[in-house]
Structure 1
Amino acid sequence: MNWSRNVSRVQVLVVTALLVALVAVACGTDDTSIVSGGGGNEDNPKVVRMVESSQVFTVDDMKAIGWKAQRDFVLEYPGTTVAKWGFLNSKEVGVLIYATAEDARTSGVEAANAQTFRREEDGQAPDENIDRISCRDAQASSAVKAITGAPSKAFSSSYLDPEVGKSDDILGLRCSNRYPTYNDYTVIGNMVVLCEGDGRNLLEPSTNCKELGKWLSQ
């Protein structure tokens, strides 16, 4: 399945240019990498960062700061050399690596916006074209049960395959409250990093996305 939404490359370039032009000092912080108007709203805030870097990052750079890769994403991410999810500081972090910084700021931004998209009417994930979701019941529990050929297993964050019935790996049970696992994202050089929030509330800001530039430069 291809998540691309028929957005022309010219449109993506224009949107990205506008985002970069809106980089400003956020309220109460001197973090100038934050893009003003990053795509969230008052009910569903989202922090988007654009960090300038001439370095060409590889998956080894992420592993060096403690990121533990798990599996490839299920959906297709055109132009990526790496498209995986894993964990950093006990929180889920997705990594998309492109050949160039321009690709990250165009195709990567489009991908990140799709994977952090929330429906305006209820703040939940769309019904398709999203790779990682988290279930929340009335008590805000985050456990998602999945069935494999073995006995049932519980996953603390999100289930693997949105195409239920097409995967021999994991079959996700019906999830009535589906939210994107990732909310914030950071574009740094040729890499896009998608981050789960710090707390049980998925909308909480991510320290991983905030500190990424500093950690990678050490």
Structure 2
Amino acid sequence: MPRGGDGADRIRWFPIQPGNMLHAANAYEDERGRIVLEGPCVDREGFRLSWNWWVGAPGRGTEPNARSFTRRWVIDLAAGSVDEQIIDDLAVEFPTLNEDYLGAEHRYQYAVSFPDENGFGGYGIVKYDRRTGARRVRPTGDARLPGEAVFVPAAGGTGEDDGYLLTVVSDLKQDASRLLVLDAAGLGQVAAVDLPRRVTAGIHGSWIPDSALDGDAGED
């Protein structure tokens, strides 16, 4: 789809494998002019298992994101082809990144991991290094479901992963929640704040510095 103008007669369609992607990690044009799109995607069976979990249907899946594996599509506009790959076998959702890199090639991205239908994996925060292919996982514990990890750049930071990840972890057994602050570079714990009541597991979070609440900042 062209960026400018209506372009209705210039929309191009490319066949890919069936799948359902709720949240894209990022998309950008590489140095060869190809479009790269990446994010968790479920196949037909994964969608059935996940849907059964969400609606509480009989025979439901054991987790909300069974078979939600990260895929990468590289769309070659000149050749009219798509290279599609599953690049990780860990069930994840809610991908995030340093938003300074939205629409541009990025090195690091983050996600929430889930146990799959076979019990592989577990609840945690995942960091991917797309340059080296490395994957690092920070487990959050049994029945402790983290929410989407929001990247917050460090004051004066210069590196792409120079900052923090904020996630609200919901304890499904204790009916309690805590705000977990992780170092985005190594996923080490910086702080944990027990909240006065449970915050139900959510999808998206937004955070602003308290300085933005001063003066007329809230009038924009």
Higher relative contact order (CA 8 A, sep 6+): 1
Does TM, normalized by the shorter one, top 0.5?
Answer: no
The normalised TM-score by structure 2 is 0.27
Higher-helix-fraction structure: 1
Higher-strand-fraction structure: 2
